[in-house]
Structures are given as structure tokens and as C-alpha cells.
């Protein structure tokens, strides 16, 4: 057990060192492989993308761990990312699989995890109920404005009363 841990630590250090050595050449581009969706059902289409291969860098993807074989990540204009896709075999078993992409120039390799779960599309978890997307901040009158309005109406009422009284008394208007 201890030996395993040591081996894994060594491997991790080696990967970290390789990453550190490779990084400057790509101006600090991120070194991971985005897998979308990260959880997929057997038969589903999965998209992966990475910026690790630099501008206009393509890569070879390997999804053989889940039984999908190799595929190509083509460069896209989107933020210098290489994008590819593969289909999870309908026979894939639930579990977590490592998806690997190796840059075409051979300098760099990135990985990402794909979780296969047996959730049929029809049974996909749906939200339910209404959505809380407002607090009423766009409406409702300012309290200061309300107070000013009430005060103005009070003045109007007083003035009106005064004038009506004078009229009732027959004074000159």
C-alpha cells in the first residue's frame, strides 16, 4: 500500500515537473482537458476541449478507456482551443474514465475525467416549480416620494377647504 502511494506521488511529481517545463512555451495556457458533459449516459455524444496545445494546435484524443477509441481535436478560433468529440459506446459500464488528449506537436498531454452514469435521457432530472428571479426592486414607490406626495395633497386639501369656507361665507373671492 505504502509502495503504491509512493509510486503515485512520484508519478504526480513527474507530471507536475513536465507541466512546469512545458508551460512557458505556451504562455501559461491552462493544462486541463474540459470534458462536456462530465457525466454522460451510454450512447451520448461528449465534447472535449483544451487550450493546452496553444494557438492553432491540434491534438489526438484517446477515449479508449471507455471503449470509444481515438478521435481528433481540431483547432478552433475560440480562444485558441482545440475541440473534438466522441460517442460513449452504448455498452459502456458506469464508472469514471480518464480521457487523454496529446498535442499534435508531441510536447504535451492533458487529461480529464468522464463519468458514465446509467441515466436514460427520458429520466433526466428536471427542475420543477417556479423560479425565484426577482425581488420587486424594479417597482414600488420610493418612500420619500410617497411622503412628499402625501404632504402635497394635505396642502391642497387645506387650501381647498380655506377657499370653500370663504366662498360659503360670501366673502369676495
The grid coordinates listed for 25 are 512555451
Among 110, 107, 115, 146, which residue's Cα sits nearest to residue 33? 110
Query: Residue 114 and residue 33: Cα distance in Å, rounded?
Result: 10
Q: Of 106 and 171, which has the nearer Cβ to another protein? A: 171
- Residue 135 engages another protein in binding (rule: CB under 8 A): yes
Q: Of 10 and 69, which has the nearer Cβ to another protein? A: 69
- Residue 74 engages another protein in binding (rule: CB under 8 A): no
Q: Smallest distance, Å, CB 146 to another protein?
A: 7
Peptide bond into 37 cis (omega under 30): yes
Cβ-based burial of 86 (10 A; exposed 0-12, middle 13-18, buried ≥19):
buried
The grid coordinates listed for 103 are 498535442
- Residue 168 engages another protein in binding (rule: CB under 8 A): no
Among 70, 71, 72, 79, which residue's Cα sits nearest to residue 52? 79
Q: Which of 1, 140, 169, 170 binds another protein (CB under 8 A)?
A: 140
Q: Which of 7, 96, 163, 165 binds another protein (CB under 8 A)?
A: 163
Q: Smallest distance, Å, CB 39 to another protein?
A: 8
Binding mask 11-30 for another protein (x = CB under 8 A): --------------------
Amino acid at each position: 500500500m505504502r509502495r503504491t502511494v509512493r509510486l503515485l506521488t512520484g508519478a504526480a511529481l513527474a507530471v507536475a515537473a513536465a507541466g512546469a517545463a512545458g508551460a512557458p512555451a505556451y504562455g501559461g495556457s491552462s493544462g486541463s482537458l474540459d470534458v462536456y458533459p462530465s457525466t454522460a449516459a451510454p450512447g451520448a455524444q461528449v465534447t472535449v476541449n483544451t487550450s493546452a496545445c496553444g494557438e492553432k494546435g491540434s491534438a489526438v484524443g484517446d477515449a479508449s478507456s471507455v471503449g470509444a477509441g481515438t478521435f481528433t481535436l481540431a483547432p478552433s478560433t475560440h480562444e485558441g482551443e482545440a475541440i473534438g468529440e466522441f460517442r460513449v459506446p452504448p455498452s459502456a459500464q458506469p464508472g469514471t474514465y480518464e480521457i487523454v488528449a496529446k498535442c499534435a506537436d508531441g510536447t504535451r498531454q492533458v487529461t480529464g475525467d468522464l463519468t458514465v452514469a446509467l441515466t436514460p435521457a427520458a429520466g433526466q432530472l428536471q427542475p420543477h416549480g417556479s423560479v425565484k428571479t426577482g425581488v420587486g426592486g424594479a417597482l414600488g414607490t420610493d418612500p420619500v416620494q410617497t411622503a412628499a406626495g402625501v404632504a402635497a395633497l394635505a396642502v391642497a386639501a387645506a387650501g381647498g377647504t380655506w377657499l370653500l369656507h370663504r366662498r360659503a361665507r360670501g366673502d369676495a373671492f
